Amino acid sequence: KAGVTQTPRYLIKTRGQQVTLSCSPISGHRSVSWYQQTPGQGLQFLFEYFSETQRNKGNFPGRFSGRQFSNSRSEMNVSTLELGDSALYLCASTHTDTQYFGPGTRLTVL
């Protein structure tokens, strides 16, 4: 089976812009989670989607949002970008408690 794929792999944006990141989970996996990884804060949970519904949400501002489509693909959106949003954004698909991570999208905000 193909692994979790994330697009784009790299992204450069300026403050105030918005960005959309995409994630395709492993075939058959219905749960998708998103995490932010930064040197200062480490790996932090953003949100989880299951069958197109947000099931859990981490402690992030409302500028961070997501959605899941009927084919389990997921997108996350960050509006009004801030410098501190520069991070590696990781998507994971879950099967029987195990989360399989994609390679991430490296977002740089200038």
Give the x/- contact pattern for another protein in 45-84, rule: CB under 8 A. x--x------xx-x--------------------------
Cβ–Cβ < 8 Å for 2, 100: no
Candidate list 34, 35, 85, 93; residue touching another protein; CB under 8 A: 35
Query: Between vectors from CA 64 to CA 99 and to CA 42, what angle results, nearest 5°?
Result: 50
Please provide the DSSP assignment of 39-98 as one string. Answer: TTTEEEEEEEEETTEEEEE-S--TTEEEEE-TTS-EEEEE-S--GGG-EEEEEEEEETTE
Least distance from C-beta 53 to another protein, angstroms? Answer: 13
Q: Which of 34, 87, 102, 109 binds another protein (CB under 8 A)?
A: 102
Size of the site for another protein (CB under 8 A): 24
| Cα–Cα distance measured from residue 77 to residue 48, given in angstroms and rounded to the nearest whole number | 14
Least CB distance to another protein at residue 16 (A) = 28
Check residue 5 for interaction with another protein (CB under 8 A).
Answer: no
Give the Cα separation of 48 and 83 in Å (integer). Answer: 24
| Contact residues: another protein, CB under 8 A | 4, 31, 33, 35, 42-45, 48, 55-56, 58, 90, 92, 94, 96-104
